[in-house]
Amino acid sequence: MDTEPRTDYEALFATRAIPEGAPAMDLSHKGDGPPPIDFSYGLPDPKSFPVKELIEATDRVLEREGEQALQYGPTRGHDGLLQVLVDKLQREEGIATDKKNLMLTNGASQAIELLCHIFVNPGDTVIVEGPSFIGALDTMQRLGAIPVQVDLDDEGMRMDALASTLEQLERERRRPKFIYTMPNFHNPGAVTMPLSRRHELLGLAREHSVMIVEDDAYRELCYEGEPLPSLYELDQRGLVVRTGTFSKILAAGMRIGWVLGPARVLSKMLLFKFDTGTNHFACRVAAEYCREHLQSHIVRLRDIYREKRNAMLLALDEHVGEFARWTKPQGGFYVWMELADGVDASRLTLEARREGVAYLSGSRFYVGGGHENTIRLSFSYLSIEEINEGVRRLGKAIKASATH
Q: Cβ(257)–Cβ(243) under 8 Å?
A: yes
Question: Is there binding between residue 41 and a second copy (CB under 8 A)?
Answer: yes
Q: Which of residues 1, 2, 7, 171 is near a second copy by CB under 8 A?
A: 7
Reported in sequence order, the residue ranges of 195-271 that DSSP labels E, i.e. its strands, are 211-215, 240-245, 256-260
Cβ proximity to a second copy, 79 vs 338, nearer residue: 79
Measured N-to-C along each axis, helices 107-119 and 134-142 cross at an angle, to the nearest 10 degrees, of 30
Question: Is there binding between residue 9 and a second copy (CB under 8 A)?
Answer: yes
Considering only residues 189 through 208, tell me which ones interact with a second copy, judged by CB under 8 A: 203, 206-207
Distance CA 282, CA 254 (A): 6
Considering only residues 210 through 269, tell me which ones interact with a second copy, judged by CB under 8 A: 210-211, 237-239, 247, 251-255, 262, 264-265, 268
Q: Which of 257, 313, 224 is nearest to 102 (CA)?
A: 257
Cβ proximity to a second copy, 134 vs 337, nearer residue: 134
Distance CA 275, CA 273 (A): 6
Cβ proximity to a second copy, 120 vs 201, nearer residue: 120
What is the closest distance, in whole angstroms, from the C-beta atom of residue 130 to a second copy in the complex? 21
What is the closest distance, in whole angstroms, from the C-beta atom of residue 123 to a second copy in the complex? 11
Reported in sequence order, the residue ranges of 208-255 that DSSP labels E, i.e. its strands, are 211-215, 240-245
Q: Which of residues 1, 2, 18, 341 is near a second copy by CB under 8 A?
A: 18
Cβ proximity to a second copy, 28 vs 403, nearer residue: 28
Cβ proximity to a second copy, 253 vs 342, nearer residue: 253
Which residues lie below 8 Å from residue 44, measured CB to CB, with a gap of 6+? Answer: 247, 248, 251, 252, 380, 381
The amino acid sitting at 230 is S
What are the residues facing 336 on neighbouring strands?
Answer: 376
Q: Which of 199, 239, 244 is nearest to 219 (CA)?
A: 244
Cβ proximity to a second copy, 142 vs 291, nearer residue: 142
Question: Is there binding between residue 356 and a second copy (CB under 8 A)?
Answer: no
Question: Is there binding between residue 289 and a second copy (CB under 8 A)?
Answer: no
What is the closest distance, in whole angstroms, from the C-beta atom of residue 338 to a second copy in the complex? 27
Total number of residues binding a second copy (CB under 8 A)?
A: 87
Considering only residues 303 through 342, tell me which ones interact with a second copy, judged by CB under 8 A: none
Cβ proximity to a second copy, 121 vs 168, nearer residue: 121
Q: Cβ(394)–Cβ(355) under 8 Å?
A: yes
The amino acid sitting at 324 is A
DSSP-derived 3-state class of residue 388? helix
Q: How far apart are the first and last CA of the chain?
A: 75
Question: Is there binding between residue 400 and a second copy (CB under 8 A)?
Answer: no
Considering only residues 68 through 97, tell me which ones interact with a second copy, judged by CB under 8 A: 68-75
Distance CA 186, CA 27 (A): 22
Cβ proximity to a second copy, 48 vs 330, nearer residue: 48
What is the closest distance, in whole angstroms, from the C-beta atom of residue 185 to a second copy in the complex? 18
Question: Is there binding between residue 280 and a second copy (CB under 8 A)?
Answer: yes
Question: Is there binding between residue 272 and a second copy (CB under 8 A)?
Answer: yes
The amino acid sitting at 340 is A
What is the closest distance, in whole angstroms, from the C-beta atom of residue 151 to a second copy in the complex? 23
Q: Which of 149, 239, 228, 247 is nearest to 189 (CA)?
A: 149
Question: Is there binding between residue 24 and a second copy (CB under 8 A)?
Answer: yes
What is the closest distance, in whole angstroms, from the C-beta atom of residue 131 to a second copy in the complex? 19
Cβ proximity to a second copy, 109 vs 327, nearer residue: 109
Q: Which of 258, 193, 185 is nearest to 222 (CA)?
A: 185
Question: Is there binding between residue 121 and a second copy (CB under 8 A)?
Answer: yes
Which residues lie below 8 Å from residue 298, measured CB to CB, with a gap of 6+? Answer: 220, 221, 249
What is the closest distance, in whole angstroms, from the C-beta atom of residue 224 to a second copy in the complex? 27
What is the closest distance, in whole angstroms, from the C-beta atom of residue 134 to a second copy in the complex? 11
DSSP-derived 3-state class of residue 156? strand
